[in-house]
Amino acid sequence: MKQAHFVARHEREWEQFAQWLDARAGSPRSARAARAWRGMRDEDMPARYRRLCQQLALARRRNYSPVVTARLQELMQRGHNALYRPAPPRWRRALEFLLADFPRLVRAQRGCLWASAGLFVVSTVAMYLAVRWRPELIHSLFDPQQLAQFESMYDPAAPDARLGRDSGSDLAMFGYYIANNIGIGFRTFASGLLAGVGSLLVLVFNGVIFGAVAGHLQGIGHGGPFWRFVAGHSAPELSAIVVAGAAGLRLGLDLVAPGRRSRLDALVEGGKVGGKLCLGVFAMLLFAAFVEAFWSSIGSIPGPVKFAVGGLLWALVLGWLGFAGRGRSVTAEPSPLPPGRQRGSAA
């Protein structure tokens, strides 16, 4: 068939398809609202799209000119994008993720999680003991100015002062904790791509700093205010860093030992898991920043209340990570489609 005949025969279809794409493909939500549409019906779209694909294949096979093939190619790509775009995020889904999927995903990374927690806890405790045993060790980590700053932040002689900060209002510190801590959480995961070494270093480094500061302040008698400050937000913050570290270690393992998958496939899988874990870490650190800025810093609340709240938060976080989402499967995701084409929502 000559090109001109081919175009004349199918042109109307292509125009209808293009009109449908212009009017309806952009946003399914507004498309549902607009009932006055008189063009191609929505339910015909997949069939028309497949027809268009066949016409494009024919046009290419017959060496038709770019005027036809480029036009069909463009229509086809737009149709493909409309047909295979990911579903829009839903609030309900976000809740399900936080209450069930995320804890489940964390438990699924059991090995990396223990390794990550082990690295952090061991380096913290070791450094704490080391500084208690040899107080001068602290000077190899911090210069005197920094130390003076820490000491003034947790000075038991100034009971009315805000704990854990030398200046700044609650809101300013909330912003600071968000910008700083969530960034650290994300970097802990991402640096795992360096064969896991990055995450390992971040975990150990944070453990060493935390342990050293704790040991030093305990040693000079500033331990009370320090623990009162830390108790509240320690549960969400420390466990979030451990989870982020586990995600990073998992990514590193996928790079180093992909098993029977190709290295790239393993990384893509690790990336998906890590990305989801980071979403949860984001939520945890957001909560931690809130607690740290608006609760932990209140100096006038007595120690027992602080520790009780801290313990409660630890119980809640560990209970949530350990038990949420067990039992009934909220969102089992059976995927009959081959990998790589699992998403798909018709407009």
Partner 1 sequence: MLDTFREVHTPEGVALRLPAAGPVPRALAWLIDLGIRFGVLGASSALLGVLGNAGIGVYLILVFVMLWLYPVVFEAMFDGQTPGKRAMELRVVSADGAPVGWLASFVRNLLRTVDALPLGYGFGLAASLWDPFGRRLGDMVAGTLVVHAPRLRMTSTPPVAGMHAPAHPLRPEEQLAVIAFAERAAQLTPERQEELADIAEPATGARGELGVMRLLGISNWLLGR
Q: Where does this chain bind partner 1 (CB under 8 A)?
A: 1-5, 49-50, 53-54, 56-57, 60, 63, 65-67, 70-71, 73-74, 76-77, 80-81, 84-86, 89, 168-176, 178-179, 182-183, 186-187, 189-191, 193-194, 198, 251, 264, 267-268, 270-272, 274-276, 278-279, 340-341, 343
- Assigned token pair, 94: 């976000």
Nearest approach, Cβ of residue 7 and partner 1 (Å): 9
Least Å distance, CB 147 to partner 1, is 25
Residue 274 CB, nearest approach to partner 1 (Å): 7
* Residue 276 near residue 102, CB atoms below 8 Å: yes
Closest CA relative to residue 207, chosen from 184, 191, 224: 184
CB of 23: closest distance to partner 1 in angstroms? 17
First to last CA, the chain: 34
CB 202 to partner 1: min, Å: 11
Residue whose token pair is 């082990």:
118
Alpha-carbon span 200 to 39, nearest angstrom = 58
Burial zone of 282 (CB within 10 Å; 0-12 exposed, 13-18 middle, 19+ buried): middle
State which residue, 41 or 50, has the beta carbon closest to partner 1.
Answer: 50
CB of 200 to partner 1, least distance (A): 14
- In angstroms, the CA 128 to CA 224 distance is 15
Q: What sign does the CA torsion over 284, 289, 295, 298 have?
A: positive
Q: Which residues of 105-115 are buried (b: 16+ CB within 10 A; e: fewer)?
A: bbeebeebbeb
> Among residues 53 and 125, whose Cβ is nearest to partner 1?
53
Shorter beta-carbon distance to partner 1: residue 211 or 270: 270
Give the span between the Cα atoms of 278 and 20, in whole angstroms.
38
Q: Tell me the closest approach of the beta carbon of residue 170 to partner 1, in angstroms.
A: 8
Q: Cβ closer to partner 1: 106 or 138?
A: 106
Residue 277 is classified by DSSP as H
Query: Which CB atom, from 57 or from 312, has the smaller least distance to partner 1?
Result: 57
Longest dimension (CA), the chain: 94
- Tell me phi and psi for residue 228, to 5 degrees: -65, -35
> Which of residues 124 and 191 has its CB atom nearest to partner 1 in the complex?
191
- Closer of 20 and 226 to partner 1 (Cβ): 20
Q: How far is the CB of 248 from partner 1 (least distance, A)?
A: 10
Q: How far apart are CA 117 and CA 323, in angstroms?
A: 18
Q: Is 116:245 a contact under the CB 8 Å cutoff? A: yes
Could you identify the residue written with the tokens 């990073």? 248
CB of 110 to partner 1, least distance (A): 22
Which C-beta is closer to partner 1: that of 89 or that of 144?
A: 89
Tell me, what DSSP letter sits at residue 345?
-
**Of 264 and 312, which has the nearer Cβ to partner 1?**
264
SS3 126: helix
